Structure 1
Amino acid sequence: MRDLELPGRSPVWADNGLCATSHPIGANAALDVLKRGGNAMDAAIAGAVALGVCEPAMCGLAGDCFALVKPAGSTQVLSYNGSGRAAAGADAAAMRAEGLSEIPDGDARAVTIPGAIAAFDEMSALWGKLGLADSLAPAISYFEAGVPVHSRVAYDFANGHGRLDATAARHLMPQGKPPVEGERFALPGQAEVLRRIARDGAKAFYEGEVAEDMVAALQAAGGPQTLDDFAAAKGMQAETIQGSYKGAALYEHPPNGQGATAILMLNMLSHFDLSSMDPFGAERAHVEAEAAKLAYAARNRFIADPATADAAKLMDPAFAAELAAAIDPKRAQSVPDQISGAPHRDTVYITVVDRDRMAVSLIYSVFHSFGSGIGTDKFGLVLHNRGCGFTLEEGHGNMLAPGKRPLHTIIPAMLAEDGTPNLPFGVMGGQYQAAGHARFVTNLRDYGLSPQEAIDAPRAFPSGGKLQIERGYAPEVAAKLQEMGHELTPPPAPIGGAQAIRIHPSGVMEAGSDPRKDGCAIGY
């Protein structure tokens, strides 16, 4: 039990239904759907879509998503890939000829065809109970009437609004400036898009006036996207991938998501006696940072479109042992091709478990803050920039090409602690997510922390040749890490934001929610 005289969060317990996500309005939207008789998928879609107006820098209708699903009464974990493909006119050679070595994050050519709406439509049909229209109803009212801006959302708006082009700014900042905490924020144009989707399904987004609005914005900005590209949009079911750590099975989404990277990190960390280390000390932080450097360098070589990725290599215990042996437990090392690029921590995650113990782990994102920043004229949609996950390197499996899906940082997860999947979780935060999964699992398995304690624990992450370290670490830990050769830097924002629900053998549910975000866990 935590010290109740100090600030903090206690676990949330419930019997009938539980949701954990990064904004209280999104959590309540999900819970309302559960109370109306919906199941966990109905509720997860409701909460996720509502987050588009609650956290517009993080997610939106023109974004992508992934999901893991454990149906009621089943021990099987299913997955759904709601990421979009590159346009038929995508041309890496032309971009290289311009002298580009990577895809600019505000370029229209960084926009793959948004996949989330197609995914919500099909997941509702596959696993929902009420139907898509009922899942969208709470969000429609919030998009139309607006929601009060919360603290973290105001922070994200203030720091990211410069990415919005003039058209996007007209819809998202009608007063000419970012909204402040407590101010009402609405997206009435997007409410109309949702009404059309509720009536006609995903085709209302990928065909007709809404698609024309997106294509016009993209082509005006120099993009190759066409109406045919949008009409061809479709998600897909996929086989989950699985790793293990100290008696628990970890289910991850397969490539093009980076879930195999989390499995690789855990396989590497299994070669170190983490449980003998101070959970919040320098020794553990160092080993995790060194494992992340090597794991992410491998990720950049092997994660790509499902047709070309090599997840098996990343999940090979022998490969993990080889990398673990290269870690100096006393000294930081430089690793070529590790974690670099512009920071992108802009994602929402929602997990829901219902009274029948169906569990959904869903992550939804526009990648960078406000995605590409490209807005549409009629409906005020802001397009994501997931194409930045491609490389332009000729011959690379993850090279930009027509119809391909890029490497994705967003990954939902689920843990089976005693043979049965019982703990859906996710750790937002752009590149950090795979490392965040490994840290969350080791917090549980090596140190016996509760989900809330595992989420609360301080975080560090190597990026751009430096080790980002949160203020939750003691000054003497930071000093020791510097002695070990790490160049420390404060993170530009709190590192990630996690949510988790544990189903106990008794059937009672326990949830944790990250204080780094505005959200909460709420149940009944």
Structure 2
Amino acid sequence: MRYLRLAPLALSLLVPGGHAMSADRITGREFATRSEVIAPQAMAATSHPLATQIALDVMKQGGTAVDAAIAANAALGLMEPTGNGIGGDLFAIVWDPKTKKLHGYNGSGRSPKSLTLDWFRENGHTEVPSHGPLPVTVPGTVDGWFALHGRFGKLPMRQILAPTIRYARDGHPVHETIAYYWNRSVPLLAKWPGFREQFTIDGRAPRKGEMWKNPYLADTLEKIARGGRDAFYKGDIARVIDAYMRANGGFLGYEDMAAHAGEWVEPVSVDYRGYDVWELPPNGQGIAALQMLNILEGYDFSQIPFGSAEHIHLFVEAKKLAFADRARWYADPAFHPAPVAKLISKEYAAQRRALIDPERAARAVDAGRNLNQGDTIYLTVADKDGMMVSLIQSNYRGMGSGMTPPGLGFILQNRGEQFVLKNGHPNSFEPGKRPFHTIIPAFITKDGQPWVSFGVMGGAMQPQGHVQIVMNLIDFGMNLQEAGDAPRIHHDGSTEPAGQVTEMADGGILNLETGFGWETIRALMRKGHRIQFADGPFGGYQAIMRDHANGVYVGASESRKDGQAAGY
């Protein structure tokens, strides 16, 4: 997967120790591609400037951060269909200033109840296909909107969705990175019924700067605005999906849609050097970040420079250990509950840390046995009353399954590809089950107060990215923008919890983004790491920090994407 890397106002430097850094020409900050955004009243950070502006407009109209997050998410479904849409799932963490606590929502959908593991086997499948009707699960996003709105919203949903409906009818210009991915998706997905008619211009993707309209999505959003969540799950939209899937070899039906319900969940946390880092429990992979942080807390990074071989080695080895547990334990807790408290305990982290050889990369690692038991968008919004929202939403693989029901203007997700077609596996396919999920929002608190709402989208990069952001802020003293702009580490090849499960036996592959020096790379190779260069599965980052001392918000957005942080 390729991410465009933009670095305005940056100067490449070579510093002692042989690792390269970027420095802002004005401030001299090591990794700044631009300044942080600072505002007194409200802040929004999304992967599209127009979505950011919509979020700010909603808050100026009296909406809460949740209202603004829903509005921005709806806009991104229109403007960045390469990563999300109402055919996908949603997860969120909300800081509520009234209760002074975090609330989590798991808006992931379940597999069709009429589809079975035996059907896959009888029809010659050894893994769930990546596209077409078979990986489609119930889309949970719209339910998530209304659940969040019911508890924390203020403006009527018709007002929240109105900006996106206008853009869908009147058109909006397609941004550069989105145009790139859209063009890559069309040859793959155009064969599926409805996609060419609704997501191309005469069979091609829209180009950068070209105006794009989606009147079908405008119609769908108007129905949702008028009729609420049931208009999507129990009305004509669900009936169209049912008929379309039946006609095209699919299993997702009206009854699956009508039975859907997301759930409020308690976020879980670990203390990392006095800061509480929060994630959501499985079926997502968020606790992998917490497991990694617990392991890494045992090393003194005040004495280990950023970008050094020791820093990267310890990070990768902690990742391997956490991901072994991820493959063994993370699944829908209604079918296979994970021992979350044990997995994120300091005692367990000490046991796992003892397995790390400081001089040699592990070729294979096992999951802990003595236990009692993805493309995406990320956005964050904060309002004048102190509410902060960390929200992530996805169609899973790029634009999703390719299955595009007629006249609805959105593509159904292919999240079911994450199921394993193997009896007894925690993530084995079963009817009415939620698959393992890669998308994870994150939050950091300090002394019981909100500090940073953030996320790093991008499949298995997400927990790795979360850990790097936390370390950049806390261990390496970077500011919020630098923490996202610093070159990233991506390890691939761990045992996976999805698809055709294969055990890591060769240590995997270490991808290093431009910015790490040759001296570091050679030292890592001596430790046994296999290094390769990728244009990058390095993720997409947005963040908002609450500066309590000055009474302001600080915002940052991803320099590798089209996004914007802005406030007022």
Is TM-score (shorter-chain normalized) higher than 0.5? yes
The match for 1:142 is: 167
For 1:309, which of 333, 337, 341 is the aligned residue? 337
Distance 2:164 2:473 in 1: 34
Deviations 1:485-505 (A, max 9, x none): 222223353510111111112
CA contact (8 A) 1:297 1:335 kept: no
Unaligned runs of 5+ residues in structure 1 are 339-344
- SS of residue paired to 2:81: coil
TM-score, normalising length: structure 1: 0.95
Deviations 1:380-416 (A, max 9, x none): 3211111122222211222111221111111111101
Unaligned runs of 5+ residues in structure 2 are 1-22, 368-373, 494-507
Deviation at 1:297, TM superposition (A): 1.6
Distance 1:475 1:216 in 2: 57
For 2:107, which of 68, 82, 97 is the aligned residue? 82
TM-score, normalising length: structure 2: 0.88
Deviation at 1:320, TM superposition (A): 1.9
The match for 1:230 is: 257
Alignment pair present for 1:163 and 2:191:
no
Distance 2:412 2:105 in 1: 21
Alignment pair present for 1:276 and 2:303:
yes
CA contact (8 A) 1:367 1:384 kept: yes
The match for 1:211 is: 238
Distance 2:281 2:481 in 1: 27
The match for 2:272 is: 245
- SS of residue paired to 1:108: coil
Alignment pair present for 1:510 and 2:546:
no
Distance 1:412 1:257 in 2: 10
Distance 1:504 1:247 in 2: 17
The match for 1:288 is: 315
Distance 1:396 1:70 in 2: 35
User: Which range moved further: 319-328 or 435-444?
Assistant: 319-328
Deviations 1:70-123 (A, max 9, x none): 112432000111110111113123223444332111142211100000110121
For 1:3, which of 25, 28, 44 is the aligned residue? 25
The match for 2:542 is: 499
Deviations 1:327-379 (A, max 9, x none): 222222223689xxxxxx41111111100111111101011011112111222
Distance 1:195 1:53 in 2: 14
The match for 1:474 is: 517
CA contact (8 A) 1:161 1:370 kept: no
- SS of residue paired to 1:367: coil
Distance 2:422 2:56 in 1: 46
CA contact (8 A) 1:241 1:252 kept: yes
For 1:387, which of 416, 421, 427 is the aligned residue? 416
Deviations 1:419-444 (A, max 9, x none): 31221111111111111111111111
Deviation at 1:255, TM superposition (A): 1.4
Write the letter of the residue equivalent to 2:155: L
Write the letter of the residue equivalent to 1:516: R
The match for 1:67 is: 92
Deviation at 1:316, TM superposition (A): 2.5
Deviations 1:44-88 (A, max 9, x none): 000111001211110011010001011124320001111101111
Matches within 5 A, 1:355-366: 355-366=384-395
Write the letter of the residue equivalent to 1:100: H
Deviation at 1:319, TM superposition (A): 2.4
Distance 1:488 1:104 in 2: 30
Distance 1:200 1:190 in 2: 15
Deviation at 1:453, TM superposition (A): 1.0
- SS of residue paired to 1:276: coil
For 2:226, which of 175, 195, 199 is the aligned residue? 199
Distance 2:346 2:358 in 1: 20
- Are residues 169 and 482 of structure 1, via their aligned partners in 2, closer, same or farther at CA, if it must alter by over 3 Å? farther
Alignment pair present for 1:423 and 2:452:
yes
Alignment pair present for 1:403 and 2:432:
yes
The Cα RMSD (Å) is 1.8
Deviations 1:445-492 (A, max 9, x none): 111111111111111111132112211322333333223222222335
- Are residues 330 and 186 of structure 1, via their aligned partners in 2, closer, same or farther at CA, if it must alter by over 3 Å? farther
- SS of residue paired to 1:66: strand
For 2:403, which of 374, 377, 382 is the aligned residue? 374
Write the letter of the residue equivalent to 2:142: I
The match for 1:52 is: 77
CA contact (8 A) 1:79 1:239 kept: yes
Distance 1:225 1:47 in 2: 28
Distance 1:223 1:456 in 2: 42
- SS of residue paired to 1:223: coil
Q: How many residues align?
A: 518
The match for 1:186 is: 213
The match for 1:519 is: 563
Distance 2:537 2:168 in 1: 27
Deviation at 1:189, TM superposition (A): 0.7
Distance 1:136 1:425 in 2: 24
Write the letter of the residue equivalent to 2:76: L
- SS of residue paired to 2:475: helix
- Are residues 505 and 383 of structure 1, via their aligned partners in 2, closer, same or farther at CA, if it must alter by over 3 Å? same
Identity %: 42
CA contact (8 A) 1:426 1:499 kept: yes
CA contact (8 A) 1:214 1:381 kept: no
The match for 2:60 is: 35
Deviation at 1:9, TM superposition (A): 1.1
Write the letter of the residue equivalent to 2:337: A
Structure with the bigger percentage of helix: 1
Distance 2:517 2:51 in 1: 34
- Are residues 314 and 159 of structure 1, via their aligned partners in 2, closer, same or farther at CA, if it must alter by over 3 Å? farther
Deviation at 1:161, TM superposition (A): 2.4
Write out the 4+ residue segments of structure 1 that deviate beyond 4 Å after TM superposition.
none
The match for 2:497 is: none
